[in-house]
Amino acid sequence: MRFHPASTRCLRLVACFAAALITSSAFAQSVAQLEQQAIRDAIEHVSPTVVQLQIIGGADRLNDVSLASGPSTGVILTPDGYVVTSRYRFEPAPATVVALLADGRQFATEVVAHDYSRKLVLLKLSGAEDLPAAEIAPADSYRVGQWAIAVGRTYRVERPNVSVGIVSALRRIQGRAMQTDAAVSAANYGGPLVDIEGRVLGIIAPMSPSAESSIAGVEWYDSGIGFAAPLAEWMPAFERLKQGEDLQLGYIGIGLVEGVARETPAKIATIAPDGPAAKAGLEKGDTVTAINGVPATTQVEMQAAAKPHYAGDTLEVTYQRGDETSTTTLTLTTIAQLQEAAEAAKAKEEAADEKAEAKEGDADGEEESNAGDSEE
């Protein structure tokens, strides 16, 4: 039997195509297997540093929101037992917290300090030594699109619960968080978000761009929108927390003009009385152009440069007034201190108004008295 040359060519093409499909399928399968193995290796790498926190006491509800019951998750930072976790189950403070390690060891814990800005709390395991400590991914390794594995230890002590996704955005929540589409919920709040090498990118916590409470953002659980406080960027704060210093979100004491935050310059519309900006000489109408040398051409950029800093931190603020550009320094304050200063300024203004009214009343009375005397 003889084949027509054209038929022979077709058969060869079909054979080549089939071989290519087989090769392509095998390659795809090999890549998938490698990815799965890499994820397993990453989980195995970080798992010994992820602890289950048995929380006794505290609140079942906060601001009319039901809090998840059961254990929470924490991450070991140092061999001597410093652990970081989310504040989600720590407001109000629980009566007792016991840390359970994957190897079966148990430790009583104490609360060292709170980070109210990033919604974290630092714990210390009593009597701990030679513990496995988490490997921290350097900040310059953060990439949008990189693997992100959310790890918790809430269901079983001996085995972590895991969800896989990517880093979907950086510098979210005014520069204090990275965003992930990995499933995030009370099942892994306080746990690590790790890269494909098992290094900790950040600590998972409920966060919201529009609210600052410890439960803001819980409504997004398992939605594909989750947040983690970048750990490498947070480690300088860890040294302050170790000393027992609670850290608060820092405020400049200004209000910005209305507009689309991603497009509108950071032009000052209001100045808080006796706040950091007022004391530093900033005025209504000034436009902030840089924070600590980092350009801030829009309101979003200004917030991302300023908000990661804490109350008590000093900032160098570059601003434009008319045609002149100047630089000043200021010390960030807390929202409570801003409110106290505003109330004091209001009370002072009211007292001055009352004094002026009383003086005006005395003058009017004196004029009436003089007029009466002349009539007599």
Lowest mean pLDDT among 11-20, 282-291, 357-366: 11-20
Q: What is the pLDDT of residue 287?
A: 98
Q: What is the pLDDT of residue 344?
A: 84
Fold designation for 250-376: Pdz3 Domain (2.30.42)
Cα 120 from Cα 131, distance rounded (Å) = 21
Q: What is the pLDDT of residue 375?
A: 36
- For CATH 2.30.42.10, the residue range(s) in the chain are 250-376
Q: What is the pLDDT of residue 201?
A: 98
Q: How confident is the model at residue 294 (pLDDT cuts 50, 70, 90)?
A: very high
- CATH code assigned to 139-236: 2.40.10.10
Counting Cα atoms < 13 Å in the Cβ hemisphere of 345 gives 12
Handedness of CA 174, 208, 87, 132 (dihedral sign): negative
Please check the confidence at residue 283 and state whether its pLDDT lies above 90.
yes
Please check the confidence at residue 323 and state whether its pLDDT lies above 90.
yes
Q: What is the pLDDT of residue 70?
A: 78
- Report pLDDT digits (tens) over 42-60: 999 999 999 999 998 765 5
Q: Which residue has the tokens 């390659």?
A: 27
Q: What is the pLDDT of residue 196?
A: 96
pTM for this prediction: 0.82
Q: Which residue has the tokens 């009211």?
A: 350
- For CATH 2.40.10.10, the residue range(s) in the chain are 139-236
Cα 370 from Cα 208, distance rounded (Å) = 66
Q: How confident is the model at residue 11 (pLDDT cuts 50, 70, 90)?
A: very low
Please check the confidence at residue 303 and state whether its pLDDT lies above 90.
yes
Q: How confident is the model at residue 263 (pLDDT cuts 50, 70, 90)?
A: very high
Is the model more confident about 25 or about 303?
303
Q: Which residue has the tokens 């045609």?
A: 323
Cα 301 from Cα 289, distance rounded (Å) = 9
Average pLDDT score over the chain: 86
Q: How confident is the model at residue 224 (pLDDT cuts 50, 70, 90)?
A: confident
Q: How confident is the model at residue 150 (pLDDT cuts 50, 70, 90)?
A: very high
Is the model more confident about 165 or about 356?
165
- Report pLDDT digits (tens) over 94-132: 889 999 999 999 999 999 999 999 999 999 999 999 999
